[in-house]
Structure 1
């Protein structure tokens, strides 16, 4: 028998969360339903996907291999659902997009075309960073997001990389002691306050070394740096547009860094025609936008 998308989704969630019960809670199902679906999947495939001899089920080698295939099938199903939604029509009345200041969206191209295609659709644009973007999409608060590429995503989040990379630089105000330093090192940075970007859903940044102030806004961190309160990791486009004359870029130690940007959406809530068009446009418009900006 061919495995169902639902059973593959349960398998992917259980594998990612390391728990059948956690997968059941995430999917709003009974644990017995998840356990039975995965057991039937193992029968259909003729493979043991989980080692159940330990306290927490762990993937077998066969399970690890099948997880990759399951994720590919889920992704293909997601693409088919998007295409069907576009063909079936039924334009959504509201679309929420959450973007990251990591990436400068080519608004003059994207929103101009969007307004002409969907003049009566209400568009909401929010700003968030990192895991906050993913959380807003997971919760259904936003249908589509742009985020600095994360190491991994939950199984219910679809993602596609944007062709253009963003750039993150290391900056201080002109009067900061580091502005005249001949050589930047990790030890030297730790002697001065870091102006850190934080998020509401992940406190990992708080466990990093060194004294720090933090904010969820790149623009507020930029202003703090301009005033000399510390050093900051900042998208290069923000410094160029808003603080080209007031911030000094620190070189070395791998800075500046190139950052991949991903578009993300929920696989549990299909994008409508406008959301699908916006996703495709954001992914494909980059090269055109660069050409227009350089003319």
Structure 2
């Protein structure tokens, strides 16, 4: 006889709660039924999964190995149940999408518009967030999808590569009181106001990139406002090349990156939670973005 999902759930609950009684209370079963389920599982597998000799039940070596593999199965089962429920309900009535501060708005909104034109029954709720804000909304369950940069080593993310943004430190002509060269250091810039993007995260630790320690800084909510402040000679800062390319060509802004004061590159992706089930419209959106990624990147001046 094959083991059952009920037996796996009981075994998992015992491990997580530390005892048969606590496991029974957690999953709403009697203690004898949980104990019998785990005992039957061991008999069917021909393995001793638990060491019952102490005050708390402990995993045997075989039990630990089996539980590690079983945990993946239970996670996939949860996703399947959630997805089946979403299928039964039909297309989602709304989706939450977060656009990060480094995404070019005209191209990004055009990409989303072309998809949602074909989904008249689903309302798109757009949020615009900066720095840590997109990640926070995703992990708080307030976003189905984010378009932003991520830590690709974080196993919680599933992602699609979109494009790379080049960030350049720029000033207006005459802003600096010394000659521009490739030898400018952060110490040279400490006496000048630096324009930075305000982290929109509400409860996560605030982050800042390229911030010169000890320098005065003015914070803004988006890249467009930041560009305007820099063009007005109110400060300097790192800007995405696609947003200032024409300013650089026309001489309104000057790239001051060099050996010490460096620019950078940021990989923008579409990301969602790996361990979350996604409904029909969200799944179609994911597939659509994957299919459009190459042509989408080609429309952006990088």
**TM-score normalised by the chain length of structure 2:** 0.64
Say what the alpha-carbon RMSD is for the aligned residues.
Answer: 4.4
In structure 2, the partner of 1:160 is 159
* Matches of 1:278 and 1:140, distance apart in 2: 18
Partner SS for 1:289: helix
Q: Are the structure 2 counterparts of residues 112 and 72 from structure 1 closer, same or farther at C-alpha, using a change threshold of 3 Å?
A: same
Matching residue within 264, 271, 282 for 2:278: 271
2:253 matched to 1:250?
no
Matched, 1:175 2:174: yes
Mapping 1:102-181, distance limit 5 Å: 102-104=102-104, 106-107=107-108, 110-150=111-151, 153=154, 157-177=156-176, 180-181=179-180
Q: Distance between the aligned counterparts of 2:246 and 2:12, measured in 1?
A: 49
CA deviations over 1:128-176 (Å, ceiling 9, x no partner): 12211111122233221112223764x6x43314142222121112331
Greater radius of gyration (CA):
2
Whole-Å separation in 2 of the counterparts to 1:272 and 1:265: 12
- Whole-Å Cα distance in 2 between the matches of residues 74 and 148 of structure 1? 30
Aligned partners of 2:223, 2:74: CA distance in 1, in Å?
Answer: 35
Determine if the alignment matches structure 1 residue 213 to structure 2 residue 212.
no
Moved more, 72-81 or 96-105: 72-81
Aligned equivalents of 2:178 and 2:104: distance in 1? 26
Give 1:225 shift.
Answer: 1.0
Per-residue CA deviations over 1:261-289 (Å, capped at 9, x if unaligned) read 23232456532222222223334422123
Provide structure 1 residue ranges, at least 5 long, that are not aligned to the other structure: 12-19, 21-29, 34-38, 49-65
- Maintained 8 Å contact 2:163/2:297: no
Cα contact 2:159–2:270 (8 A) shared by 1 = yes
**Residues paired across the two proteins, number:** 250
Secondary structure, in 3 states, of the residue corresponding to 1:260?
strand
| Corresponding residue number in structure 1 for 2:194 | 194
Unaligned runs of 5+ in 2: 18-22, 27-55
8 Å CA contact 2:75–2:275 kept in 1: the answer is no
